Amino acid sequence: MPPPASLTDGNLAPLWEVVRLRLERAGNDNRGRVAVPNLPPAGRLALNALAGAAGRTVSLHTIEDRLEALGVGPDLPSALAVLGHPVSSGPGERRQARRAAVDARAAVRAEASTWAEPRAGTWIDEVIARRILAGLDADEAVGVVGSVRAVLDRLASEEPRGPISRTDLAAQVLGSSHALDQGTRVEAAATRALHHAVGAVAPRDLWERAGAHLDLVSAPALTWNLPANPGSPLAGIFGEAKRVGIPVHLTQLALRKAPVVVASRIIVLVVENPRVVEAASQQRTDLIVVATNGNPSNAVRLLIDQLLGCEAQVRYHGDFDAAGIAICARMHRRGLLPWRMTASDYLAALGEAARAGVRLPADSRASPPTPWDPELQEAFDHHRFIVHEERLIAALLDASTTDLLT
């Protein structure tokens, strides 16, 4: 049965809008009084017929009871929908979400207050501020905090027995080997906790310092012609690999079990791209070459540290683009000497490409500072043409060890 025409002809539309907005702002259960808006005479008569002699305000209870009696709807929100003014669920859902977020924040702060660590309160505030718990209800958020507590406790208990794989840690403590994968809530919250427990440490070293290594076999260092002392377990591997012309991958696990030891002052060329190592092995060059494969992995960094610890002379070459120059800058800070990474080298590479009729790609990003040769930053920012290391392989591998000293 359709509602009476006096309720739907538009004369009461301003009132229905006032009621709709009240319910959206205060919730569908609100049944207070609302101010009666300006209504046309026909609208005022319809309201008086519906709710009695209405003054400046009208009771929502009264309107609801009358609409229900007329069969318009079983409750006020349903009746408004029939009258063409449905109450949106969005505002109510947002209010509910805000209430849930407030409850969740209170719950996790209460949980963190039971921790013995003096900076637990600061940690949970950081977790909240970084929205790591966003969208979780109180039970779910407390569950994340509890998982972090379990991880910290296990790391503390593992310390006397040595490091544990983070994958094993996740599986044993949290039930899933992926529970501490990068990007999960527990990993993000636990990493923030470790910052307070371990101190100011580079992000990639944080878990290692805490006693959980990330991975000892992935992202190995790619090497060619790397020597090893005769007593090293790697000596036979290196010798045979060079004999048959095969590059050697060195994992963190291998480098920890058998650290590379080389003669003092030996010259090593570290490059950005694996293709250079591949070409070095194909040409059977006598150069010692190591590839970072972009940003150096933990295995590459460990190998470089071992070489520098032997007082090897380690040179670095990479791509002439913003990202490659940034890697070179990090290698320079680490103690490697940039080689053939100057403005004159860059301009020579541009000239060679122009003579060959090669159109080089352009880089939208500016060069980072190049303290080993400030003119390189200026030259790159002026031209912005990218010269990938693979274009320079021949010149790199034709170099002698004497060239690497210059």
What are the pLDDT digits (tens) for 255-266? 999 999 998 999
CA end-to-end distance (rounded Å), the chain:
95
Report whether 370 contacts 379 (CB < 8 A): no
Mean pLDDT score, 391-397: 95
Token pair 């990493």 in the structure block, residue: 191
Is 161 a residue whose pLDDT tops 60? no
pLDDT for 160: 45
Give the pairing type, strands 221-224 and 248-250.
Answer: antiparallel
Sign of CA dihedral 192, 193, 197, 203: negative
Higher pLDDT, 224 or 200: 224
Q: How many CB atoms lie within 10 A of CB 258?
A: 15
Is 163 a residue whose pLDDT tops 80? no
**How is the chain split into domains, by residue range?**
5-87, 91-211, 221-404
Sign of CA dihedral 300, 303, 309, 314: negative
Nearest to 64 by CA among 101, 23, 35: 23
Write out the two tokens for 117: 């660590």
Helices (H), 245-288: 252-257, 274-283
Nearest to 142 by CA among 185, 99, 95, 80: 185
Report whether 270 contacts 294 (CB < 8 A): no
Helices (H), 27-71: 41-51, 60-69
Helix (H) or strand (E) holding 223: strand 221-224
The model's pTM:
0.66
Q: What is the residue-averaged pLDDT of the chain?
A: 91
Report whether 62 contacts 52 (CB < 8 A): yes
For residue range 201-248, what is the model confidence (pLDDT) as tens digits?
A: 776 678 888 888 877 888 899 999 999 888 888 888 999 999 999 999
For residue range 263-289, what is the model confidence (pLDDT) as tens digits?
A: 899 999 999 999 999 999 999 999 999
Residue 374's pLDDT band, with cuts at 50, 70 and 90, is very high
β-partners of residue 57 are: 35
Is 370 a residue whose pLDDT tops 80? yes
Percent of the chain having pLDDT more than 70?
Answer: 98
Report whether 318 contacts 327 (CB < 8 A): yes
Mean pLDDT score, 48-66: 88
For residue range 312-356, what is the model confidence (pLDDT) as tens digits?
A: 999 999 999 999 999 999 999 999 999 999 999 999 999 999 999
| Fold of the domain built from segment(s) 221-404 | Dna Topoisomerase Vi A Subunit; Chain: A, domain 2 (3.40.1360)
Mean pLDDT score, 124-141: 95
Is 158 a residue whose pLDDT tops 60? no
For residue range 35-55, what is the model confidence (pLDDT) as tens digits?
A: 999 999 999 999 998 888 778
